[in-house]
Homo-oligomer: A and B are copies of this chain.
Amino acid sequence: MRTHERVLARIEAELVAGRWALGERLPGERALADELGVSRTSVREAIRILEAAGVVRTAVGSGPTAGAVVVDRPAAGLHMAMRLHVSSGALRVPDVVATRVLLETWAIRTAGDRYRAREIGDTALAGARRLVDAMEEPGMSSTDFIAADQAFHLEFARIAGNHVVEAFLLGLRGAIGQYVTEGVSRLPDWPNTSARLAAEHAGILEAVSVGDGATAARLAREHIEEFYVETGLAGELRPDGGLRR
């Protein structure tokens, strides 16, 4: 086993054991190297991996914010890995879309159900409502619209309350952004399409806000798949509703 892997394993073990709580700082790189009897280089490589995985955040300088701070960003690691693999073509866009539909419809259905069960209230939907209002403004640039669209969709993952699903969708965000941007550039009439998309968003939110998770999920599936087909990124739509390029 390589030295930096041993360091990584050791740090991971102590993280699990609770040596450092969320928000606390790891010892300095020099101290850690001393403690483990390895070079600073190996410690740095291990920390680099932890940082890429979203477990720690590093900052230079002095004071309580500096150093390697234990954070909690499960999506960061997924995000980077997803982006790299979609970029390199190892993961295909139809697979991304199908997975997105699967996770998002679940999240939206769950959000609607939780609203009906009064586990969440109208304040939880305020963010989504604000985004819908913004997207209904006619003058919005396509870049801003796409950003608001992404935020709107992620909002339900947050509301659904499943952090794993949320992290997966956050990880997919980069890959989704790539094909959405590509798709928008292919559309003949963006103002028209964006108005329709905004209306569909409003419809989804409306269904959630009356507690009808099933309808909201159906609308979301149609919303995502229609856009995908309309842009010509999808060759055909399978009879079972699954997407095939």
Which residues of A are in contact with B by a Cβ distance under 8 Å? 4, 12, 15-16, 22, 41, 44-45, 48-50, 52-55, 70, 72, 74, 76-78, 80-82, 84-85, 87-88, 90-92, 95-96, 98-99, 102-103, 106, 110, 113, 162-165, 167-168, 171-172, 240, 242
Asked, given contacts A48-B48, A78-B81, A90-B72, whether A99 binds B55 with beta carbons under 8 Å apart, the answer is no
Contact status A102-B165, CB under 8 Å: yes
Contact status A92-B52, CB under 8 Å: no
Contact status B49-A85, CB under 8 Å: no
B residues in contact with A53, CB < 8 Å:
52, 77, 80-81, 84-85
Contact status A50-B91, CB under 8 Å: no
C-alpha gap A68/B55 in the complex (Å): 25
Asked, given contacts A44-B45, A52-B53, whether A74 binds B78 with beta carbons under 8 Å apart, the answer is no
Contact status A77-B87, CB under 8 Å: no
Contact status A77-B80, CB under 8 Å: yes
User: What's the least CB distance linking A241 to chain B, in Å?
Assistant: 10
A60 to B, closest residue via Cβ: B2
Contact status B45-A74, CB under 8 Å: no
Contact status A55-B88, CB under 8 Å: yes
* Additional pairs, 19, CB under 8 Å, beyond known A16-B87, A22-B88, A95-B163: A15-B84, A15-B87, A15-B88, A16-B88, A22-B90, A41-B41, A49-B49, A49-B80, A52-B53, A53-B85, A55-B85, A55-B88, A72-B88, A72-B90, A91-B167, A95-B165, A98-B164, A102-B106, A164-B172
